[in-house]
Chains A and B, each alone.
Chain A
């Protein structure tokens, strides 16, 4: 079945440093989504990327979708303590009744030291 791998599993940074998490799928994705989960909270949707090579920005966050639509990355510039949490990528399964099912990566846990 489809697998979505995410690295690193953990990342500790000093406040102000940059952070990047990478996501790789075993199959070509029609789109990829990113979610953030604060400690003790629930996942919250950040963004959806659809086009090959697409780059989207949200303030200090930059999201990229690979040319082959099998990988993606999330980059945070100048991290702040409010960025703490787990970042997940997720891709939909394709075809038939599984259309719309999401497969999540394992997540990257980001810790920011002030």
Chain B
């Protein structure tokens, strides 16, 4: 199993550009989420999904869109990039907490995004 994969690893955008960060998992996990990590701020939840076709907002959703058309993929779209979105973005997946009671999340390697 590849686990959780993310592309690209690095990206530089100009203010106002849009792009999609890709995330895929091959563990048949129902739960997927996107976090951003900034120095001293820990990991903050952007959006999450409890299954295909179901998404919801996290703590910092503004400026980001998500969709979940399949169990495997959970792309994150930046609509109009701003310097405040410079960050490291992590995708994570986990077992369905509704059935397993297990909450541990498996993280991808991250995407380092710079917006100039």
Contact = CB atoms under 8 A, between A and B. Distances in A.
The answer to whether A and B assemble together is: yes
Interface in B94-112: 94, 97-98, 102-110
A104 B58 CA distance: 12
Interface string A15-51: 0000000000000000101000000011111001000
Given A42-B108, A45-B105, A101 B58 contact: yes
A97 interface: yes
B31 interface: yes
A100 B40 contact: no
Contacts of B50: 97, 100
Interface size class of A (residues with CB under 8 A): 20 to 34
B109 A101 contact: no
B56 interface: yes
Nearest to A43: B107
**Of residues A33, A42, A88, A106, which shows the largest number of chain B Cβ atoms within 10 Å of its Cβ?**
A42
Interface residues of B, number: 28
Contacts of A6: 42
Contacts of A104: 35, 42-44
A99 B41 contact: no
Contact of A99 (B35, B98, B107): B98
A98 B58 CA distance: 9
A103 B59 CA distance: 9
Contact of B109 (A9, A42, A45, A106): A42
Interface in B33-76: 33, 35, 40-45, 48, 50, 56, 58-59
Interface of A: 1, 6, 9, 31, 33, 41-45, 48, 88, 90, 92, 97-107
Interface of B: 31, 33, 35, 40-45, 48, 50, 56, 58-59, 90, 92, 94, 97-98, 102-110
13 contacts: A42-B107, A42-B110, A43-B43, A48-B103, A88-B42, A100-B31, A100-B94, A100-B98, A101-B48, A103-B59, A104-B43, A104-B44, A105-B42
